[in-house]
């Protein structure tokens, strides 16, 4: 997961900022190799991040990248995959969100197709993402909860994974 996030981040940095670093490659020195992916995200997308953990997971680019990566890995078969933010309370279930006409209308390529909810997940905020550990002192990193029910309601899931078969 960290490798996929780092590769995606590296491609984003090189594509978004070709003049930002020599040769368009973000890791040019040994010191830069020690930087966390989150430090690059903060550089690319500077924001004032609120202290509220749910808000961070929903608004921070790292949360969106994680959600999209997770949704893509969960969905089976060929087609388009969307990670759709879900707010706490009153937002509807992932089934309701993924099948809504309002959501489908946002992408002309898939608006005429049938959409399905494939997962409901909660991306936790304020988690360390690249703290090095050792076998004697392991460190846990990023944290996600996958609900077993796409109709989970309340303040649980903060992302819905929507799939549109090709």
Specify if 29 maps to a domain: no
| pLDDT of 29 | 44
For residues 121 and 161, give the distance between their C-alpha atoms in angstroms, rounded to a whole number. 8
* Mean pLDDT in order along the chain per 10 residues (166 residues): 45 37 40 47 40 48 89 93 90 94 95 96 81 82 91 90 96
| pLDDT of 34 | 52
Specify if 18 maps to a domain: no
Specify if 139 maps to a domain: yes
Q: 10 Å Cβ neighbour count for 59? A: 15
Contact yes or no for 53/126 (Cβ under 8 A): yes
Helix and strand counts by DSSP (H, E) for the chain: 7, 4
Specify if 19 maps to a domain: no
Report which DSSP code applies to 137.
S
| pLDDT of 91 | 79
Specify if 132 maps to a domain: yes
Q: pTM (2 decimals)?
A: 0.62
Specify if 41 maps to a domain: no
| pLDDT of 130 | 66
For residues 23 and 21, give the distance between their C-alpha atoms in angstroms, rounded to a whole number. 6
Work out whether strand 159-165 and strand 79-85 pair parallel, antiparallel, or are unpaired: antiparallel
**Count of structural domains within the chain:** 1
| pLDDT of 51 | 40
Q: Which domain holds residue 51?
A: 47-165
Specify if 129 maps to a domain: yes
For residues 104 and 157, give the distance between their C-alpha atoms in angstroms, rounded to a whole number. 20
| pLDDT of 22 | 38
Contacts of 39 (CB under 8 A, 6+ apart): none
Contact yes or no for 119/150 (Cβ under 8 A): yes
Specify if 111 maps to a domain: yes
């Amino acid at each position: 997961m960290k490798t996929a996030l780092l590769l995606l981040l590296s491609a984003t940095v090189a594509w978004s900022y070709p003049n930002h670093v020599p040769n368009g490659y973000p890791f040019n020195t040994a010191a830069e190799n020690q930087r966390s992916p989150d430090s690059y995200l903060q550089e690319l997308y500077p924001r004032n991040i609120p202290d509220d953990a749910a808000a961070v997971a929903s608004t921070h680019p790292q949360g969106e990248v994680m959600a999209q990566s997770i949704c893509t890995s969960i969905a089976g078969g060929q087609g388009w995959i969307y990670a759709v933010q879900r707010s706490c309370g009153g937002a509807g279930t992932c089934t309701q969100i993924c099948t809504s006409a309002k959501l489908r209308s946002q992408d002309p390529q898939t608006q005429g197709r049938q959409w399905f909810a494939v997962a409901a997940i909660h991306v936790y905020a304020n988690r360390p993402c690249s703290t090095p550990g050792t076998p004697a002192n392991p460190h846990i990193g990023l944290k996600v909860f996958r609900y077993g029910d796409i109709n989970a309601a309340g303040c649980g899931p903060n992302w819905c994974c929507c799939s549109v078969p090709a």
